[in-house]
Amino acid sequence: MAEEKPAAPTHDAQAVPGGDESATGGLGAQVTPGLLPGREPFRSMIRWLGIAEQTISIVLLLVILALVLMQIVQRFLPSGFAWTGEMARFAMVWITFVMSGYLLGQDAHIAIKVVDYFLPDRALGLVKLAGHALITITCGVMLYGVFDFMTKDRGQVTAAAGVPLTLIYTVVAFGFASTALRGILAIVLVDLAEIRGEPRTPS
């Protein structure tokens, strides 16, 4: 009698400590698990933060589409709205900062991976730890600079749309804070585990 073989897995995503293997579809779900702490309520907080970041980015993308279409229509009108181009540019910048932390948590930033293919796990863990530490420190310094700008703000607004610069700074500060948080999670959940030689399995 032929021996029955186990079913093949549906995907070959690499397991990440603290990841959620149950997330296979829908908003907030990825084939590759993200960085999620093993304990509640922190696990749910990070998961919902990622969903919020994706939702805000989708809304901003739709806003950019609408504003660009308005600019096209304005070409055929005697007058237009000067603020459409300005707000489209700000929305594009906001998407960059809002999604920065989420993409770091998914290891989805554009990168050229070279040493990943020949370094042993522990050495690679050290390299990644150095990279994530540099990202976290840089985001902390930039976050301090953003708060410095916010405290020195004197009610300035943008030239065309009249948006308070404080709002612009707030979105940027959120992006730096979110990215720094994901950098810390990557160090704690992935890099230190690789350095210690622990198996990379979800919690």
Mean pLDDT of the chain: 81
- Is the model's pLDDT at 89 over the cut of 60? yes
25-34, 79-88, 180-189: which has the highest mean pLDDT? 180-189
How much of the chain exceeds pLDDT 70, in percent?
Answer: 81
- Is the model's pLDDT at 80 over the cut of 80? no
| 122, 192 contact by CB (below 8 A) | no
Average pLDDT over residues 96-114: 89
* Close Cβ partners of 196 (under 8 Å, ≥ 6 residues apart): 122
Distance CA 183, CA 123 (A): 18
| SS3 (DSSP) at 143 | helix
- Is the model's pLDDT at 102 over the cut of 90? yes
Helix boundaries (H) for the chain = 42-74, 83-105, 121-151, 165-186, 192-196
Cα end-to-end span (Å), the chain: 38
Amino acid 139: pLDDT: 96
Summarised one tens digit per residue, pLDDT across range 146-160 is 999 888 888 888 888
**Is the whole model's pTM more than 0.95, yes or no?**
no
So where are the chain's domains?
42-109+117-196
Summarised one tens digit per residue, pLDDT across range 190-203 is 888 888 877 554 43
